[in-house]
Amino acid sequence: MRILQLCNKPPWPPIDGGSKAMHNITRGLLSAGHQVKVLCISTAKQPLDPGSVPPDFMRATRMEGVFVDTAINVVDALSDLLTADNYNISRFFSPDMDIRLIRLLSEEKFDIVQLESLFMTPYIATIRRYSKARIVLRSHNLEHLIQARIASGERNIIKRPYRRYLAKQLEDYEMAVLDRVDGVAAISPSDSKHFRAHGTRTPVVSIPFGVDPAEYPSDPIDPNRAPAFFHLGSMDWLPNEEGIRWLLESVWPKVIRKQPKAQLHLAGNKMPADLLRVDMQGVQVKDRVKNAVSYMHKYQVMVVPLFSAGGMRVKIIEGMAMGKTVVSTPIGAEGIACTDGKDILLATTAQEFAEHLIALHGDPERATAIGKAARKLVLRSYADAPIVEDLSAFYKRLLKA
């Protein structure tokens, strides 16, 4: 099949969950024998550097980017509020990107146009006008659900109504988009169920994030050494910052009282300055790391304290692939077919979260057992090859319809 992949940011380098999700599926589709052309938005925050892309991958994808200023502009945001447009989405539309897309669709024929995330849906009208390709939304998250959860946790009584309004506005847009595409590839079964619950007739399937297990060798935990805890995630994503602040304020003091030698390592791009200056017993904080996998190899237990997320957390799948024990909130583990107490540990309160960390610190063998079960889950359900096979089969059904 000839597939045009439209990305809301460069899939290379794969440095965060979104870019990894895009890169891995591109790589998988190429390996399966499909032709994939990548056209992405290049931003000041995440610019496309063609020289950094591996030559073979660049030749195969003919990757190109169009610069779009997606930075938040207060004037534009207020304007969209008055006109009922959704600023979360509209800021990804650019006349330059639209023109390049028109030229591309006029020059080449595609069977499938794969929209990576809701943020690329402003280009649906152009695709319909210039192509007969089937349009598929690859939904990385239920974006309105994230915004609704953020709104529910907003402490500022002035901001809270505004956030709720934006969440409802985004929900209306997200559900309306279902009828404008030919198919939806949701990243988790729970997201698929949510889409279907709105009565859409558009075909919806669950295509989760996948990994190449060979890239994530497992690390056995030393039974004679207490496991260290860690978190790695982009800190310019509000749910991550919210969760880490909760962890430091409400959980870690409880852990240190019981396990004074416990160690917590925090790292992530755009780490807030006040967190970099944190002076707490057993806590080490750093900004962006050069190699995420190397960083994760150093520690044994991954903590994922999320309360506003949606979709599927890429870092959890990666940690599980490496045999790490993961301690998460139920929302953090949402969309992953895991079993509490077997291949993951879940906690809904600060006390429960702390109790899990305290117990694991004193029981390396249990941490090892949970980590091994987690890796087996990834090998069984989240390896690249079968996921790409399912996506290819979905595309073939759409083309026959």
For residue 393, give the CATH number of its domain. 3.40.50.2000
Higher-confidence position of 344 and 198 = 344
243 shares its domain with 163: no
145 shares its domain with 167: yes
Residue 239's nearest CA partner among 201, 268, 264 is 268
Give the residue-averaged pLDDT of 127-131: 98
**Domain that includes residue 164, residue range:** 2-210+384-400
86 shares its domain with 205: yes
96 shares its domain with 188: yes
96 shares its domain with 163: yes
pLDDT > 50? residue 84: no
Phi, psi of 381 (to 5 degrees): -125, -15
Residue type, 351: Q
Average pLDDT taken over every residue of the chain? 89
234 shares its domain with 134: no
Q: How confident is the model at residue 217 (pLDDT cuts 50, 70, 90)?
A: confident
Q: How confident is the model at residue 139 (pLDDT cuts 50, 70, 90)?
A: confident
199 shares its domain with 224: no
126 shares its domain with 154: yes
Higher-confidence position of 71 and 193 = 193
135 shares its domain with 153: yes
DSSP labels, 89-125 = HHTT--HHHHHHHHHHHHH---SEEEEESGGGGGGHH
123 shares its domain with 244: no
pLDDT > 80? residue 87: no
Instruction: Give 283-308 pLDDT, tens digit per residue.
Output: 999 999 988 889 999 999 999 999 87
273 shares its domain with 327: yes
Instruction: Look at residue 145 in the predicted model and tell me its pLDDT.
Output: 65
Which residues have CB under 8 Å from 159's CB, separation 6+? Answer: none
Using alpha carbons only, give the angle 73, 75, 77 rounded to the nearest 5 degrees: 65
Instruction: Look at residue 242 in the predicted model and tell me its pLDDT.
Output: 92
How many distinct structural domains can be found in the chain?
2
Instruction: Give 347-392 pLDDT, tens digit per residue.
Output: 999 999 999 999 999 999 999 999 999 999 999 999 998 999 999 9
97 shares its domain with 163: yes
pLDDT > 80? residue 114: yes
Per the DSSP assignment, residues forming a β-bridge with 327 are: 303, 345
Instruction: Look at residue 146 in the predicted model and tell me its pLDDT.
Output: 65
pTM: 0.80
Task: Report the share of the chain in percent with pLDDT over 70.
Answer: 90
